[in-house]
């Protein structure tokens, strides 16, 4: 420890990747009752890991996985391994799926989305444990960083109100929300790029984030990491490249419609408005625009001096019982996790083990937060309250294929806000355990995060601290008045 104390010591880091593409034909997750055996590989699947260490000896790990969901079993096995073998507790381990719809299923709680291949799951778990161990044991170097947000318009809001009768999930629906482009709705049209460098300006890792369902690959019979892997291949970076999916529950690729007007009208009369699908040329053009936006952001980063990363690492985890989110769930205890991970002024991540819809970003009043979805054991969609009232796939249509009885409870915005305040309080509690000089360091770190391009805002509203990792009973009053199972 230097005389400046652990808060001002450099944070050290190392990163690595491993291929997780199945070595034999495999069924793919992503769509209900999918029966296509994938015998080809489009863009290869990858797992990436970043491990950071501070002056107190605490470690923090981010793991990105080219999977639909990580699921409860893989999540728990990796958490146990990280805790027992590496000393990384569950608060400081982030397991983030890219949500590609072209990877083998590993989540046994959603059999309608694909039966789990046990051999692949075990092999995948071994690969990830080996990766984590190797990265944690690497010689770590002091981290410098630079970050940027760049505009991108490749995603579109996919919930459109429709007033005519139409066929929906083999039933006749009388109006409501259909899955179709709603280009008049403003969405989070941006990318986040975070470059980690060593003191010699060699790249340690590249983190990037978009908010968009990876559902565009035109080859439905090929295992693929979708646009996440396509961008990796376009950029050809030698350093590990980790992807964190944003709040993308109601966003998907904006596909140019090649159908004739008559064709669109015929389909709309039966099914309501809907999306066209990519053919290969339009898919490649869409990927080129996305990769171009990422490349432009990296070019801009090169003009900016990197900042040294100092200060302790902080983490927090609050778990909301699934029964508090869904009315009618009667299975074993299953939490919905809200996680915060902070590394000095480099990032402040808010991660949710759900498919959060983009409208929830309007509830976050702290521009320093990096919202991430699809982490750990994802139970299903978390729409905004007005979306729940509108209906549609993200509000109730997903429940059956996700093997969930009942319905989402009223008051979702309030439950979400309470959980985000609770995890913010937990993070503050972790920060309060730092040495005396940490308070000033953390305040300056938050200001630095808010001063990143595109960030203007105030700090979190203070909230009362609670226990570090425990189940938190939310909304007891509204549960007494909530409807029962559907």
Q: What are the extents of the domains in the chain?
A: 1-486
Give the integer Cα–Cα distance in Å for 238 and 285.
Answer: 24
- pLDDT, tens only, 335-383: 999 999 999 999 999 999 999 999 999 999 888 899 999 999 999 999 9
Q: Looking at 103-187, which runs of residues are DSSP E strands?
A: 141-142, 144-151, 155-157, 159-168, 171-179
Distance of CA 386 to CAs 355, 360, 390, 414, Å?
16, 10, 6, 12
Query: Contact, 437 vs 476, CB < 8 A?
Result: no
Identify whether the C-beta of residue 407 lies closer than 8 Å to the C-beta of residue 325: no
pLDDT for residue 376: 97
Are 351 and 60 in contact by the 8 Å Cβ rule? The answer is no
More confident residue, 433 or 198: 198
In this prediction, residue 485 carries a pLDDT of 34
Question: Do the beta carbons of residue 40 and residue 223 sit within 8 Å?
Answer: yes
Find the range with the poorest average confidence among 263-272, 375-384, 407-416.
Answer: 263-272
Q: What is the per-residue pLDDT for 269?
A: 82
Residues 6+ apart with CB under 8 A from 376: 70, 72, 75, 95, 337, 339, 353
Task: Give 35's contacts (C-beta < 8 A, 6+ positions apart).
Answer: 27
Query: Is residue 128's pLDDT more than 80?
Result: yes
What end-to-end distance do the CA atoms of the chain give, in Å? 59
pLDDT higher than threshold 80 for residue 440: no
- Burial of residue 429, with CB atoms counted within 10 A of its CB: 0-12 exposed, 13-18 middle, 19 or more buried: middle
Classify residue 154 as exposed, middle or buried by CB count within 10 Å of its CB (0-12, 13-18, 19+).
buried
Poorest-confidence range of 176-180, 381-385, 415-419, 455-459?
Answer: 455-459
8 band by pLDDT with thresholds 50, 70 and 90: confident
**Residue 49 binned pLDDT confidence (cut-offs 50, 70, 90):** very high
Report whether 349 contacts 337 (CB < 8 A): no
Q: How far is CA 472 from CA 41, 75, 90, 157, 195, in A?
A: 43, 20, 16, 32, 35
> 3-class DSSP state for residue 62?
strand
Average pLDDT over the chain reads: 88
* Per-residue pLDDT, 443: 52
Residues 6+ apart with CB under 8 A from 304: 146, 148
The predicted pLDDT at position 154 comes to 95
| Three-state SS annotation for 245-297 | ECCCCCEEECCCCCCCHHHHHHHHHHHCCCCCCCCHHHHHHHHHHHHHHHHHH
Contact (Cβ atoms closer than 8 angstroms) between residue 451 and residue 335: no
Cα–Cα nearest to 394, from 404, 406, 403, 384: 384
> Residue 173: its pLDDT value, please?
78
Dihedral over alpha carbons 406, 407, 410, 413 (to 10 degrees): 130
pLDDT given at position 448: 55
Q: What is the mean pLDDT of residues 226-236?
A: 96
The pLDDT of residue 168 is above 90? no
Percent above pLDDT 70 for the chain: 88
Which of 9-23, 247-261, 472-486 bottoms out in mean pLDDT, i.e. has the lowest? 472-486
The whole-model pTM stands at 0.88
Give CA–CA dist 57/175, Å, rounded.
Answer: 57
Do 77 and 106 touch, CB atoms closer than 8 A? no
Judge whether residue 478 has pLDDT over 50.
Answer: no
User: In what helix (H) or strand (E) does residue 41 lie, and over which residues does it extend?
Assistant: strand 40-41
* The pLDDT value given to residue 124: 98
Give 461's DSSP letter.
Answer: P
- Alpha-carbon distance of 127 to 297, in angstroms, equals 32
CA distance 232 to 291: 8
HSE of 139, CA atoms in CB hemisphere, 13 A: 1
pLDDT at 237: 85
Distance separating alpha carbons of residues 370 and 360, to the nearest angstrom: 13
* Complete edge-to-edge strand list for the sheet that includes strand 59-65: 93-97, 59-65, 46-53, 12-19, 141-142
**Percent of the chain predicted with pLDDT > 90:** 73
pLDDT tens-digit map of 84-94: 999 999 999 99
From the list 336, 360, 358, the residue with the least C-alpha distance to 423 is: 336
Q: What per-residue confidence (pLDDT) applies to 469?
A: 37
Confidence of residue 165 (pLDDT cuts 50, 70, 90): confident
Report the relative pairing of strands 144-151 and 313-321 from DSSP bridges.
unpaired
Task: Give the three-class secondary structure for 114.
Answer: coil
Q: Which residue has the tokens 């309470």?
A: 418
* Greatest pairwise CA separation for the chain in angstroms: 75
Residues in contact with 322: Cβ distance below 8 Å, sequence separation at least 6, in sequence order? 329, 331, 333, 334, 335, 336, 379
* Best mean pLDDT range from 225-234, 257-266, 328-337, 357-366: 225-234
Least confident of 46-50, 104-108, 390-394, 472-476: 472-476
Residue 457 has pLDDT above 70, yes or no: no
């Amino acid at each position: 420890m230097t005389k400046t104390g652990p808060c001002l010591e450099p944070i050290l880091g190392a990163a690595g990747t491993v291929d997780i593409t199945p070595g034999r034909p495999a069924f793919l997750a992503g769509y209900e009752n999918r029966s296509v055996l994938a015998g080809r590989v489009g863009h290869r699947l990858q797992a990436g890991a970043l491990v950071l260490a501070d002056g107190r000896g605490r470690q923090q790990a981010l793991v990105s996985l080219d999977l639909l969901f990580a699921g409860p079993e893989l999540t728990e096995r990796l958490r146990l391994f990280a805790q027992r073998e590496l000393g990384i507790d569950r608060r400081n381990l982030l397991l983030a799926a890219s949500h590609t719809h072209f990877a083998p299923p590993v989540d046994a709680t959603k059999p309608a989305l694909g039966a789990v291949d046990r051999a692949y799951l075990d092999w995948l778990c071994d690969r990830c444990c080996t990766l984590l161990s190797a990265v944690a044991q690497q010689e770590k170097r002091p981290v410098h960083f630079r970050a940027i947000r760049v505009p991108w318009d490749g995603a579109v809001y996919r919930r459109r109100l429709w007033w005519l009768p139409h066929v929906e999930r083999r039933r006749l629906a009388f109006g409501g929300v259909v899955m179709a482009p709603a280009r008049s709705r403003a969405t989070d049209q941006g990318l986040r790029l975070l470059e980690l460098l060593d003191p010699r300006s060699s790249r340690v890792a590249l983190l990037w984030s978009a908010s968009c369902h990876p559902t565009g690959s035109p080859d439905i019979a090929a295992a693929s990491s979708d646009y996440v892997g396509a961008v990796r291949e376009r950029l050809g970076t030698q350093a590990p490249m980790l992807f964190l999916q944003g709040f993308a529950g109601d966003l998907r690729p904006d596909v140019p419609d090649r159908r004739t007007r008559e064709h669109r009208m015929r389909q709309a009369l039966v099914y309501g408005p809907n999306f066209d699908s990519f053919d290969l040329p339009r898919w490649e053009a869409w990927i080129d625009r996305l990769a171009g936006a990422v490349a432009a952001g990296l070019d801009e980063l090169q003009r900016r001096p990197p900042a040294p990363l100092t200060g302790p690492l902080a983490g927090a985890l609050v778990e909301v019982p699934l029964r508090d989110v869904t009315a009618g769930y009667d299975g074993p205890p299953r939490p919905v996790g809200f996680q915060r991970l902070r590394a000095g002024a480099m990032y402040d991540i808010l991660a949710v083990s759900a498919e959060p819809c983009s409208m929830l970003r309007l509830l976050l009043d702290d521009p320093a937060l990096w919202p991430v979805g699809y982490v750990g054991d994802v139970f299903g969609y978390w729409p905004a309250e007005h979306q729940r009232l509108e209906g549609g796939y993200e509000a109730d249509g997903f429940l059956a294929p996700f093997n969930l009885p009942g319905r989402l409870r009223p008051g979702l915005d309030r439950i979400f806000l309470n959980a985000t305040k609770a995890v913010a309080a937990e993070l503050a509690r972790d920060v309060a355990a730092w040495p005396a000089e940490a308070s000033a360091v953390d305040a300056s770190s938050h200001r630095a995060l808010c001063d990143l391009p595109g960030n203007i805002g105030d700090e979190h509203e203070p909230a009362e601290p609670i226990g570090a990792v425990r189940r938190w009973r939310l909304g007891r009053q509204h549960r007494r008045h909530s409807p029962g199972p559907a």
